[in-house]
Amino acid sequence: MVDGMDRGKIEALIATRQTGFTLPQPFYFDRAIYAIEIEQIWRTGWLFVAHDCEIPSVGDYLTWDIGDDSILILRDDEGEIRAFHNLCRHRGTRLCSQPQGHVGRIVCPYHQWTYDRSGQLCSARGMEADLNFEEWSLIPVAVATAAGMIYISLADNPPPFDGVGKQIAAAAAPQGLNRAKVACAIDYEIEANWKLVWENNRECYHCNVNHPQYIRANFDHFNEDDTNGAIQTRIAQQLQRNKEHLAATGLTATHQSTGMASFPDPENVDGWCAINRTVLVEDYISETMDGQQVAPLMGDYVDPHVGTLRMRTMPNMWNHSSCDHVVTTRLLPAGPDRTLARVVWLVDQDAVEGRDFTLERLLPFWQLTSEQDWDLCRAAQQGISSRAYRPGPLSTYKEWNVEAFICWYLEQLTPSSES
């Protein structure tokens, strides 16, 4: 819990923050600020937890720790996704200790109270015969799904999901996320505050030097201060080529907007979600090492020239989807200076490893890019932790989205955002 004094200090600190500059030092490692973030950001809205193909069969589950809470996400007997607080109703013991697994019934390790896959208590040996099982089912957590993506909310009154869920479902439908399977997942512990991971994600100022693979495939590192007209012509030509290819699928691609765009996309509900489809460079049809397709086309695609579909939902998910695979990154804060990241590669559900794709061709592009980013985040955390750190200026050309992220973040913390 955070007392009023902490909150007051933080409000005073927010007031010292200069527009166009990075955050004051305590935002990157202070425990009181971190506790407020958990309450006001991570326990208020909808959090991405997984693609539903990560728990494909009845009884498959995964657990998810956020702050002091552990959440159990489970596929029930009807094939629906449910979420519960991962604790026994007897004396509170943690039920499932593994990050993922499979259960027939959920048996508490302490005294073996047993719950079915709908969370109902169904056995409590040794208790009085009149124990009302109905009263002691697992505590549910709100769940919503869109396009095969599972979200939970820890809020007492979760915000509406339907509107944004429909936006996600419509944009992601051609990609076939709900007809996908996991090809690989890699877990990382990043030695950096979760906001540094987002700040790094929100700009490509660092790309030219740090992401040799990524810049070969994308136009992101060309920003609005690039006066080289040839680049703008290339992008326009690529958009036109993609337009012709995408016509068959009824899709359109755009290039990133420029200027001090608010974050996330103001066209999307509450700024919580942003989705766009953009083009890859000439001769690249997939975000792979050589730009070539490495797995069967996904979803409704009939032509590989679909660019990349990019989605992000705050505060913890972004993904890039090519014609043949999807790469999703999910973040979880694990302390003021630690962030857990899971990077998941999806392919079409019928694709067979060894026959239709190999991990050797599928993984390197985003594995390298991700790990390059985590190194940068760690170096940022190390430097910011020094007593010599002072907030630094952001480029309006290349870091407008970092500024937009910081504004979004501070908005979540300010009292006016409380309701």
Cβ atoms of 70 and 88 closer than 8 Å: no
Q: Which is nearer to ligand FES, 43 or 90 (CB)?
A: 90
Q: Distance (Å, rounded) from C-alpha 74 to C-alpha 309?
A: 28
Nearer to ligand FES, 27 or 113 (CB): 113
Among the listed ranges 50-58, 298-306, 307-315, 365-373, the one in contact with Fe ion (CB under 5 A) is 365-373
Q: Is residue 203 part of the contact set for Fe ion (CB under 5 A)?
A: no
373 binds Fe ion (CB under 5 A): yes
| Cβ-Cβ contacts under 8 Å for 375 (sequence gap 6 or more) | none
Nearer to ligand FES, 108 or 171 (CB): 108
71-79, 114-122, 229-237, 370-378 -> range binding Fe ion (CB under 5 A): 370-378
The distance of closest approach from Cβ of residue 272 to Fe ion in the complex, given in angstroms and rounded to an integer, is 22
In angstroms, give the least distance from the CB of 206 to Fe ion.
Answer: 6
Min separation Cβ 164 and ligand FES, Å: 37
Query: In the complex, which residue's CB is closest to Fe ion?
Result: 373
Q: Which does 373 bind (CB under 5 to 8 A by kind): Fe ion, ligand FES, none?
A: Fe ion
Residues 67-106 that bind Fe ion (CB under 5 A): none
Q: Considering beta carbons, is residue 89 or 325 the nearer one to ligand FES? A: 89
CB of 83 to ligand FES, least distance (A): 19
Chain residues in the site for ligand FES (CB under 6 A): 88, 90-91, 93, 108, 110-113
The span from the CA of 326 to the CA of 341, in Å, is 16
Q: By rule CB under 5 A, what count of residues binds Fe ion?
A: 1
* 242 CB-contact burial (10 Å; exposed 0-12 / middle 13-18 / buried 19+): buried
Between 108 and 332, whose beta carbon lies closer to ligand FES?
108
**Of these partners, ligand FES, Fe ion, none, which one is at the site of residue 110 (CB under 5 to 8 Å by kind)?**
ligand FES
Of 112 and 254, which CB lies nearer to ligand FES in the complex structure?
A: 112
The token duo for 334 is 């694990």
DSSP state of 419: -
Supply the Cα-derived Rg of the chain in whole angstroms.
Answer: 23
Question: Contact region for Fe ion (CB under 5 A) — 59-67, 138-146, 366-374, 398-406?
Answer: 366-374
For residue 124, the minimal CB distance to ligand FES (Å) is: 7
* Residue nearer to Fe ion on the CB measure, 178 or 308: 308
Report the 10 Å Cβ neighbour count for 142: 16
Please give the Cα distance from 168 to 233 (Å, whole number). Answer: 31
**Closest distance to ligand FES from the beta carbon of 126 (Å):** 9
What is the closest distance, in whole angstroms, from the C-beta atom of residue 175 to Fe ion in the complex?
A: 22
- What DSSP string describes 336-367? TT-EEEEEEEEEETT--BTTTB-HHHHSHHHH
For the CB of residue 97, give the shortest distance to ligand FES in the complex, in Å: 13
The least CB distance from residue 92 to Fe ion, in Å, is 41
* End-to-end C-alpha distance for the chain, whole angstroms: 18
Measured from the CB atom, is 348 or 373 closer to Fe ion?
373
Q: Using the minimum distance from each CB to ligand FES, give the nearer residue, 43 or 111.
A: 111
Contact present, 116 and 122 (Cβ < 8 Å): yes
Contact 373, 295 (CB under 8 A): no
Question: Distances in Å between the alpha carbon of 328 and those of 108, 136, 367?
Answer: 32, 36, 11
Phi, psi of 362 (to 5 degrees): -75, -40
Written as one string, the DSSP assignment of 360-403 is HHHSHHHHHHHHHHHHHHHHHHHHHTSTT----BPPTTT-HHHH
199 binds Fe ion (CB under 5 A): no
Sheet of 81-85: strands edge to edge? 81-85, 69-75, 60-66, 100-102
H helix or E strand, kind and range, residue 330? strand 326-333
Instruction: Note the residues at the interface with Fe ion (CB under 5 A).
Output: 373
